[in-house]
């Protein structure tokens, strides 16, 4: 039986990893890694997987892994457009709502690897978390099965090269954002609304107000806000 490692974080990916493991238990021996300490060369050598998939991973993948094993990472842009950090937020800020999920070979450069597969993906509505959950469904139950079954030959990236910069927490400040209308406000709040992300906020003296769960309703926006008191 083929051995497959899935290394991932975020609750929705972990749930789908276990669903995938159960769904394909008669075809693949699936090992799920959710802690970077488990992604050691020694541990992976003991598993000896044919594939290692990274649906969402926040750490550098060491060369002793990608040089010996076939490692595949997933990126929400139409590569080579959008290499780098915070791809979803950078796309939404640019008002690019039709994009791709790219499955790429891991190599030394960030998001520079050859492409196994791309899938169309729409990000024009919903919170970042809702978008990530939708992407996770496609990755686990469409893209990974396709790669395992068909073993596509990865192709070099072609097209316009644009590199994104990773966002910093202070960039979530609404008072410093370029917001000209309701659509801008909607996009800014929703693109930061996900587990583990710094939510859109502004400050009034010692009060910090965070925004989430934004929705369009007729000619206005509705959502949730939380107020925190911060000591100087």
pLDDT of res. 175: 94
* CB 82, CB 75: distance < 8 Å: yes
Domains and CATH numbers, the chain: 2-164 (3.40.50.170), 169-229 (3.10.25.20)
Contacts of 7 (CB under 8 A, 6+ apart): 32, 33, 34, 39, 52, 53, 54, 57
pLDDT of res. 164: 96
Side-chain-side CA neighbours of 180 within 13 Å: the count stands at: 2
Mean pLDDT of 147-170: 96
How is the beta sheet containing 207-217 ordered, strand by strand?
A: 200-204, 207-217, 220-229
Total-model pTM? 0.93
**Helix (H/G/I), strand (E/B), else coil: 9:** coil
Q: What is the pLDDT of residues 68-104, one digit of tens each?
A: 999 999 999 999 999 999 999 999 999 999 999 999 9
Mean pLDDT of 168-172: 96
Mean pLDDT of 136-144: 98
How is the beta sheet containing 51-56 ordered, strand by strand?
A: 28-33, 2-8, 51-56, 70-75, 98-105, 115-122
Mean pLDDT of 47-71: 94
């Amino acid at each position: 039986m083929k051995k497959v490692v899935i290394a991932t974080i975020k609750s929705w990916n972990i749930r789908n990893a276990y669903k995938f493991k159960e769904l394909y238990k008669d075809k693949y021996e699936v090992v799920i890694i959710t802690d970077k300490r488990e992604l050691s060369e020694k541990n992976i050598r003991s598993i000896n997987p044919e594939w290692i998939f990274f649906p969402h991973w926040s750490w550098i993948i060491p060369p002793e892994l990608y040089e010996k094993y076939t490692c595949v990472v997933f990126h929400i842009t139409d590569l080579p457009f959008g290499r780098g950090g915070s791809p979803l937020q950078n796309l939404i800020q640019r008002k690019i709502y039709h994009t791709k999920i790219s499955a790429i070979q891991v190599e030394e450069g960030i998001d520079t690897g050859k492409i196994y597969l791309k899938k169309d993906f729409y990000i024009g509505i919903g919170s970042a978390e809702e978008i990530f959950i939708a992407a996770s469904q496609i990755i686990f139950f469409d893209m990974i099965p396709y790669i395992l079954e068909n073993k596509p030959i990865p192709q070099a990236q072609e097209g316009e090269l644009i590199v994104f910069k990773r966002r910093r927490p202070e960039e979530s400040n609404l008072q410093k954002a370029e917001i000209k209308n309701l659509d801008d406000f909607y996009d800014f709040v929703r693109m930061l609304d996900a587990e583990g992300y710094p939510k859109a906020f502004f400050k009034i003296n010692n009060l910090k107000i965070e925004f989430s769960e934004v929705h369009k309703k007729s000619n206005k926006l509705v959502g949730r806000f939380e107020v925190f008191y911060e000591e100087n």
